[in-house]
Structures are given as structure tokens and as C-alpha cells.
């Protein structure tokens, strides 16, 4: 039976790569993000491989999020796999200098947005007693690094929420997983540094994880047999040992 996956943050990076990986394997897609032109381009590209529906909303907007999920056409309304991926870091400042707007953005998108989307989709999973939720956490959800304060806090929250979901949804046979990457070369640092030049050096001098590397692990997790749940994955590029230890060659 063809499965349908709902992917947030599908307009770039890990979410977009996951959409490609899933499409290659014939998984039907509901792709979400704020940049409509990108959603349309990706839909055009992937429609040769699978059925694709796009939803254009901001996960910070609770009502828009719930309405978008309710608006799904019948062919796409049964969600087997939810990939809670939308998120970003905003700023890299010591706590005493942090911006309230950055803090709001990270908590509202990474934590509350994930909850709004989950709230919209979990009821159909509990009703059917099946489903798989994958939350994209981070190594920053396991280890706090200098100036990471609120971003790390948001990702620690994602990990705690993931564990809570796994316990509460256990009676329904719903799988819940956390995939926690280290440095991945995406638009992440462009967003963190608001397009500033600090983003330029983040992935130089070593081979960072690529979005596809993470997408392949996500696909592995969703294709395990019914009795197997990949509960928690911490993945780094070989050059990275932890949040502050990266072997650079230049």
C-alpha cells in the first residue's frame, strides 16, 4: 500500500532532500513551507515520481496550520508519516546579548510549530492506531554549545517532546523517532546569520553532512518492519566529534 508522508520545511535543506528520497521510493507527499514558488518547483520536479500536494503556511500561525491540514484533499488526507522538520536557528549570541525576536522565532517555529502540526495530525493516527512521527532534533538537543543557548533549548525541548510522544502514543502502536544531526550544509547558517558573512565559513575546511545523508537515514527509519522503531539517532559528519570539536583541514 502506498504511504503518504507530510513533510514540514520541504522548501530547502533536509526537508527538500527527504521529499526527493521519499519520491524516489514512491511515497506520496504533502510538502509544506512558506515559499510557495519553491513548493511549486519541487512539486513539478517530483510529480514525475509520485503524487505531490503542497501546503503553503507558516507553522507559527496556529489556525493557518490547523486549517491547512483540514484542507487536505481526500487523496492526501490519510497521513502515514509525519516529518516535523521545519525549523532554524536565529542568531548566535551570548545569552546576555540575545534578541527577543530571535528567541521568539526559535521557540515559536522549532517548538510550538512542531506542536501545532502534530496536534493537527495525531488524532487521525490514534484513530487508525498506526503512524510514524519523525521529529528532526539536533546534536544541539543533546549538548549545549557556547552562544547556542536558546536554539539548544528549543532542540532539547524537541527531544523531550519526542520522548513524551513516544510514551503517550505507545498504546496506539504509533512509532515516534528523533533524528538528531550535527552540522548539515543547508540554508541553516544563512538563516541563522540573516544572510550575513558569518555564514560563509561554517562549512568550510571539512566535509559537513549533506541534506541527502540525513534524508537517507530518515528513509531508513520509515522503512523498518512494523515491530522496529528507530527511537533516536545522533549523526555527525566524520570530521565532527561533538558540538565544538570539528577537524578542519584548512
Q: Shortest distance, CB of residue 110 to ligand NDP, whole angstroms?
A: 6
Determine if 186 is a binding residue for ligand NDP (CB under 6 A).
yes
Q: Which residues of 177-194 are buried (b: 16+ CB within 10 A; e: fewer)?
A: bbbbbbbbbbebbbbbbe
| Residue 85 binds ligand NDP (CB under 6 A) | yes
C-alpha cell at 187: 540554508
Of residues 227-246, which lie at the interface with ligand 8X3 (CB under 6 A)? 243
Nearest in space to 85 (alpha carbons), one of 49, 117, 37, 127:
117
Q: Look up 20 and say whether it is catalytic.
A: no
Give the number of other CB atoms < 10 A from CB of residue 71.
Answer: 12
Smallest distance, ligand NDP to C-beta of residue 38, A: 6
Shortest Å, Cβ 140 to ligand 8X3:
4
Look up residue 172 and give its three cell numbers.
Answer: 496506539
Between 26 and 196, CB nearer to ligand 8X3: 196
Rounded least distance, CB 173 to ligand NDP, Å: 26
Using a 10 angstrom Cβ sphere, with 0-12 exposed, 13-18 middle and 19 or more buried, the burial of residue 106 is buried
Can residue 87 be called a binding residue for ligand NDP (CB under 6 A)?
yes
The site map against ligand NDP for 142-181 (x = CB under 6 A) is ---------------------------------------x
Catalytically annotated residues: 151
Amino acid at each position: 500500500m502506498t504511504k503518504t508522508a507530510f513533510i514540514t520545511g520541504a522548501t530547502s535543506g533536509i526537508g527538500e532532500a527527504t521529499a526527493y528520497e521519499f519520491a524516489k521510493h514512491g511515497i506520496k507527499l504533502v510538502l509544506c513551507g512558506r515559499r510557495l514558488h519553491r513548493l511549486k518547483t519541487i512539486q513539478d520536479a517530483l510529480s514525475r515520481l509520485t503524487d505531490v500536494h503542497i501546503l503553503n503556511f507558516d507553522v507559527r500561525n496556529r489556525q493557518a496550520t490547523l486549517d491547512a491540514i483540514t484542507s487536505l484533499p481526500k487523496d492526501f488526507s490519510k497521513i502515514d508519516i509525519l516529518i516535523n522538520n521545519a525549523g532554524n536557528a536565529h542568531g548566535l549570541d551570548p545569552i546576555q546579548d540575545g534578541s527577543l525576536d530571535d528567541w521568539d522565532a526559535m521557540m515559536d517555529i522549532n517548538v510550538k510549530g512542531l506542536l501545532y502540526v502534530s496536534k493537527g495530525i495525531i488524532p487521525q493516527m490514534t484513530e487508525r492506531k498506526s503512524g510514524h512521527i519523525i521529529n528532526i532534533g539536533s546534536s544541539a538537543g543533546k549538548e549545549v554549545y557556547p552562544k547556542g543557548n536558546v536554539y539548544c533549548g528549543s532542540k532539547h525541548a524537541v527531544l523531550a517532546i519526542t520522548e513524551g510522544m513516544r510514551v503517550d502514543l505507545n498504546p496506539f502502536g504509533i512509532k515516534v523517532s528523533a533524528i538528531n544531526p550535527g552540522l548539515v550544509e543547508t540554508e541553516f547558517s544563512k538563516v541563522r546569520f540573516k544572510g550575513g558573512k558569518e555564514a560563509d565559513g561554517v562549512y568550510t575546511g571539512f566535509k559537513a553532512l549533506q541534506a541527502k545523508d540525513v534524508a537517507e537515514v530518515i528513509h531508513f527509519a520509515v522503512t523498518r518492519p512494523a515491530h522496529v522503531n528507530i527511537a533516536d539517532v545522533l549523526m555527525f559528519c566524520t570530521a565532527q566529534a561533538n558540538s565544538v570539536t570539528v577537524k578542519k583541514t584548512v
